[in-house]
């Protein structure tokens, strides 16, 4: 799998995690999940693919260079998902 495909998959995961996170009212839970989940999804995705291909020393060498951008992209996309679904919920609640 290419670097960009992994970025898109992690972005999709984080978008839907942000959407699910918009359902909670607890700020501390939102902060913890917002900070941690993009990293854990990128880390898990990278190593799941590495194990599927057969782990080598090369995978360990490249891990930081792949996981870090996937995490940053995950934060951005999760913020978009969280904001978008929060605004949609607020509009729906205001209309009823």
Residues 6+ apart with CB under 8 A from 67: 39, 42, 43, 46
Render each residue's pLDDT in the chain as its tens digit; 96 residues: 678 898 999 999 999 999 999 898 899 999 999 999 999 999 999 998 888 888 778 888 888 899 999 999 999 999 999 999 989 988 988 876
Q: Looking at residue 49, what is its pLDDT?
A: 84
Tell me how far CA of residue 80 lies from CA of 11, 28, 68, 73, in angstroms: 10, 19, 19, 11
Domain spans of the chain, in order of start: 3-89
What token pair was written down for 47?
């190593």
Distance CA 92, CA 60 (A): 47
- Say if residues 71 and 11 touch (Cβ distance below 8 Å): no
- Quick one: pLDDT at residue 53? 80
């Amino acid at each position: 799998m290419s670097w960009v495909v992994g970025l898109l998959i992690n972005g999709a995961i984080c978008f839907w995690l942000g959407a699910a996170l918009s359902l909670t009212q607890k700020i501390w839970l939102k902060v913890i999940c917002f900070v941690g989940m993009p990293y854990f999804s990128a880390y898990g995705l990278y190593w799941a693919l590495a194990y599927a291909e057969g782990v080598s020393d090369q995978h360990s060498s490249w891990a930081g260079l792949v996981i870090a951008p996937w995490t940053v992209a995950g934060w951005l996309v999760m913020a978009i998902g969280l904001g978008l679904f929060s605004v949609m919920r607020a509009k729906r609640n205001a209309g009823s």
